[in-house]
Structures are given as C-alpha cells and as structure tokens.
Amino acid sequence: MTKAARSVLRDCELALEMMDEVTDPDRMRVLWVGALALIRLVGHRLHESDGQSELYRAAIAEHWNYLQQSQDPMFWQFIKNYRDAAVKRHDTRIPEDSSFLGLVPHSNGGHLLVTFEDCLLLPLESGWREGEDARDVYRDAIDWWDFQLSEIEGKC
C-alpha cells in the first residue's frame, strides 16, 4: 500500500468534510487553501516517501511519466494549478462573499429573486471547471487520487 500518500488522502477527506460543514466565508477560504495544499501533497508523499520503496519505485516512476505525457486536467489544471494559485499568490479562485442572488421558481409560475448565503454554493470563479462547486471538484480530485494510487498498488 502507498501508505504515505494514502495518509495524506485521508486528511484530504477530512478537509472536505470540514468544508461541507463550514458556513463562514473566511473559514472556508482558509480551509480551501489548506485543502489545496493537501491534495497536491498526496503526489509529493507518493514520490518522496512511497517512491523510495523498492516495491513501488518502478510503478510510481512509470505513473509519473504517464501523467506528464497525458497532461491529465485533474492533475495539471486543478491539483497543481489551483494549489499554485492559492499557495503562491493567495488567489483562491472562490468568492470572497458566500452570498449571491439567484432566481427560484415560484408556485405562481414566475420566479423569486432570493439571496443565498452560508456557503451553500461555492463556485470556482476562474480556471478549469469554472462555475462548478469547489467542493465537488475537490471531491473528484480525491476520487482521482484514490484511483491513481489503486492503479499503482495493483502493479506491485
């Protein structure tokens, strides 16, 4: 098992659980930056720790070569680019204010203009998968890493 990478991946799952519960935009921003650092750390731990094992070294090197050639958008456009934006420039790519206006269908056939608050939706403001809820994309990144690690483990 890729123990080091999987340990960080469990922390990513905890970060996601925390983001699903938080309603304060400032706390969400801090959690988001930390979560992005963690999701990238999975790969670092995979390479730096798990990759030192004779059992996994070749499979991890092969996986990294494949990843570089594939230009997989989950890794390059989300995991790496979003982490770099958040950690290196404090560009979180999520709204500073969690409230926004929206139209909701009304029983009379029309629509009501309402304000949504409390981080119900946290759309990515720019970059890959812009407009999608940040937590959904993060959840997909966790699943992506889980699949990648399972593929590596299956080769050993």
3 C-beta neighbours (distance < 10 Å), count: 11
For 94-104, write each residue's pLDDT tens digit.
877 655 555 55
Q: What is the percentage of the chain residues whose pLDDT exceeds 90? A: 70
Q: Are 122 and 95 in contact (CB under 8 A)?
A: yes
Select from 141, 148, 152 the least CA-distant residue to 60.
Answer: 152
**Residue 114: pLDDT over 60:** no
Per-residue pLDDT at 113: 53
Overall average pLDDT of the 64-86 stretch: 95
Per-residue pLDDT at 24: 83
Cα torsion through 19, 5, 58, 155, rounded to 10: -80
Enumerate the domain spans of the chain: 3-92+133-154
pTM of the model: 0.86
For 129-156, write each residue's pLDDT tens digit.
998 999 999 999 999 999 999 999 999 8
Per-residue pLDDT at 120: 65
Locate 124 and state its tokens.
Answer: 């990515």
Angle between the N-to-C axes of helices 3-21 and 25-48, in degrees from 0 to 180, rounded to the nearest 10: 170
For 43-62, write each residue's pLDDT tens digit.
999 999 999 999 999 999 99
Q: Model confidence at 111, in pLDDT bands (50, 70, 90)? A: low
7-16, 19-28, 44-53: segment of lowest average pLDDT: 19-28
**Residue 11: pLDDT over 60:** yes
